[in-house]
Amino acid sequence: MTQTAPVTKPLPPVERVRPGLWSIPVPLPIVLGHVFVYAFETDQGPYIVDAGWNTDEAFDALSAGLGQAGFDITDVRGVMVTHIHADHYGLAGRLRDTSGAWIALHPADAALIHDRYEEPDDLLLRMNGYLRHLGAPQSDIDALTNAAMPVRPFVELAQPDVLLDDGDRPDIPGWDLTTVWTPGHSPGHICFWEPRHQMMCTGDCVLPRITPNVSLNPQSEDDPLGDFLASLDKLDTFGGDALPAHEWRFDDLRARTEELRRHHQRRLDEVVTAIREGYTTAWEITPHMEWSRPFETSEVFAKRAAVSEAMAHLRLLEVRGVVKEIGGEPARWQLVDD
């Protein structure tokens, strides 16, 4: 979800989407174009969900959007970050420096900050070894290993002041938000449920058109796709309207979670078919899955995201007893019933 491209689409308008709740699009220098920051009005100042990338353009857009809502950016009291990907977390530290706001994250994502953004050398070594294990060609290993490093300048490093776990209620005067832990896209991804308006701020967990990248990688849990599907089941217990971080808002969360389940079942079937046809490493299997653009011609970050997502599907199939990993370098996969 971080493939770079010129951003040409105009931003959506700043909107009051519910009484006391504002949607503020913040520009991103990537194909998604913007991230929605949701601002909850209180008598103490606004509390926001997500922040955007740390660029002057993003900071100015958020400042202007808060101004349309009747606030100054120095009035922000809290920043609830759905997950630590740069387009959500990157500007949070600058906001805290500007306004004194607290920053909140789930503990599982807070634990990843040091390796991901502060001292990534060990993470890069682990990623390098992981890509060899997947069967990536030697000629591509270095580029794939460093594919996410260009993101680091868009992050103002900041440790959270508040840790929000599943079921926790952020301290926001006049609002009854509940934290819903939805791992998969990241280990500590969280959504926020507001019962009065029957709405869920879904972050990247559920988007209206695209599917979030769910990858097995050195910073993921052991079965991220299994976690993601369980997160969809959890969101179904709430239902309601969806306020996602990208694209557009929609009014039937359960219908979209069912579409995502069907999507991943098709992907699982594609993996089984590829293995049956003789493709045995994750790198070999990946081109035989359906992607939004051909794997072979994708940019390096998209290739790494794709092969890591293929690995997430292989791991879930392994957990379900459908495939097994054959040791070696690279690792190879075969169907259990073969």
H helical segments located in the chain? 56-68, 86-89, 92-99, 107-110, 113, 121-134, 138-145, 224-236, 253-276, 282-285, 300-319
Structure tokens at 312: 């997430």
Interval 44-54 mean pLDDT: 97
**Does residue 4 belong to any structural domain of this protein?**
no
What is the pLDDT at residue 42? 97
Other residues' Cβ atoms within 10 Å of the Cβ of residue 304: 26
Interval 126-154 mean pLDDT: 95
What is the pLDDT at residue 162? 98
Task: Tell me the per-residue pLDDT of 206-252, one tens digit each, with 9 for 90 and over.
Answer: 999 999 999 999 999 999 999 999 999 999 999 999 999 999 999 99
Q: Is residue 26 scored above 70 in pLDDT?
A: yes
49 contacts 172 by C-beta, under 8 angstroms? no
Q: How many domains does the chain have?
A: 1
**Does residue 9 belong to any structural domain of this protein?**
no
**Does residue 244 belong to any structural domain of this protein?**
yes
Domain containing 116 equals 15-335
How are beta strands 78-80 and 102-105 bridged, if at all? parallel
Interval 294-310 mean pLDDT: 95
Q: Is residue 127 scored above 50 in pLDDT?
A: yes
117 contacts 155 by C-beta, under 8 angstroms? yes
Structure tokens at 297: 């011609």
Q: Is residue 7 scored above 60 in pLDDT?
A: no
pTM of the model: 0.95
Interval 198-210 mean pLDDT: 97
CA pseudo-torsion sign 283, 187, 301, 158: negative
Mean of the per-residue pLDDT values for the chain?
Answer: 95
**Does residue 298 belong to any structural domain of this protein?**
yes
CATH number assigned to the domain comprising residue 321: 3.60.15.10
| List of residues 6+ apart from 53 with CB closer than 8 A | 26, 28, 29, 35, 86, 87, 90, 91, 154, 155
**Does residue 52 belong to any structural domain of this protein?**
yes
Phi-psi region of 222 (alpha: psi -120 to 50; beta: other; left: phi over 0): alpha
What is the pLDDT at residue 2? 35
The answer, yes or no, to whether the previous bond of 330 is cis (omega within 30 of 0) is yes
**Does residue 104 belong to any structural domain of this protein?**
yes
**Does residue 7 belong to any structural domain of this protein?**
no
**Does residue 145 belong to any structural domain of this protein?**
yes
